[in-house]
Amino acid sequence: MSRSNVSLPLRGGLLCVLIATNLLWAVTAYGHGGGGPDEDKATVRAVLDPLPPELLSLRVQLRKTLAPQLLVSNPTDRPLTIKDETGRSFLRIGPDNTEGDLGAAAFHRTNTLMAPGAIPADASVEARWAVVEATPNWGWFDLRLRTDPVEVPHQVVDAGKPATVGHWSVAVQLGETDSLISGHFEYVPPANGIVEAAVVDVGALKGQALVRAMPGSARPGLFLSYRGDAPLTLLGEQGEPFLRFSQQGVEANRHSRTWARAAPSGAPSFVERKDGADTRWATISAGRSYGWIEPRAAFAGKVDDPARPAVVKRWQIPIRLGDTSSRIEGRSHWIPVKPVASR
């Protein structure tokens, strides 16, 4: 399977330190002087390049949370071995589960958000392999993707345009075949605007639900609080059941491709449909409210005039309210941001 925009939620208890709320996973990983979630500042980000032919059967994603994370799902019948900078193996993903070498410093260094120096790179001891996840899925904070040490030439900064400023790679072995998961570091100049979503019509949900766009994130998010009696199902981008709200709480369809893109770290993971069933529901909230990153509200195109506010996208989310079909409609707006110096 080729690389796509499908998200792969993290698995494993070792990664429970990630996120306090289900929307903070959209925070960008900043480099070049540290930085922070201030979209006025220039950043360096790690970017995943297309997979080589021998790895196209894998599902690989680079997700940006508090640090760059690589996420891999291996549906093949061959183990995928991940190696550190010295060539020592520290992860084996698949075919039945995921194993970690607890004696390898790289295993522990990639499963913490502490400063990279908190666990020395030379702290490895004798190999001690153990099952760390019951499925062939894993996510880790590979230090080779850290952007902090990446230097940006002043010529690139002065040009004020996105530019490649370095490369990264992770040595892997799929079965007996050696390969690389690789990418590059991209300089992103200060933003001259942001995209904000707005809900304009809730259809049949009027009087039964509060639906709001959630501003302030790098990716548009929605929040829905349901007060009705009949089950409410939101449909995904391919018309599949996506989220279900009821008096018992909120559930996500693990077979939904939209859930695969929207699922926050630590949530029930996307599962390929193999048994012919369209749904596999998993509870994601015991309450009747939920907020999520909504890919349909995102906009990645070119703005004709970045200096002027504009509607750049109109979107809708089909819903089923009991036996009634309806939809949530919205717009995404381009909001110019003045440079700091001109304020």
Per DSSP, the chain holds a count of helices (H) and strands (E) of 3, 20
- 3-class SS of residue 51: coil
pTM score, whole prediction: 0.55
Q: Of all residues in the chain, what percent carry a pLDDT higher than 90?
A: 59
Quick count: other Cβ atoms within 10 Å of Cβ 36? 9
The tally of CA atoms less than 13 A away on the side-chain side of residue 76 is 18
> Is the pLDDT score of 36 beyond 70?
no
Closest CA to 293 of 18, 17, 45, 27: 27
Each residue's pLDDT tens digit, 46-81: 999 999 999 999 999 998 767 888 999 999 999 999
> Is the pLDDT score of 167 beyond 50?
yes
**How many Å apart are CA 281 and CA 158, to the nearest integer?**
51
For residues 128-135, average pLDDT = 94
Is there a contact between 246 and 234 (Cβ–Cβ < 8 Å)?
A: no
- Say what the pLDDT of residue 194 is: 85
> Is the pLDDT score of 220 beyond 70?
yes
- Say what the pLDDT of residue 37 is: 37
Sheet of 89-93, strands arranged across: 43-48, 177-188, 163-174, 80-83, 89-93, 98-101, 129-133
Give 239: exposed, middle or buried? Use CB within 10 Å, 0-12, 13-18, 19+.
exposed
Each residue's pLDDT tens digit, 172-191: 999 999 999 999 999 988 76
Q: Of all residues in the chain, what percent carry a pLDDT higher than 70?
A: 83
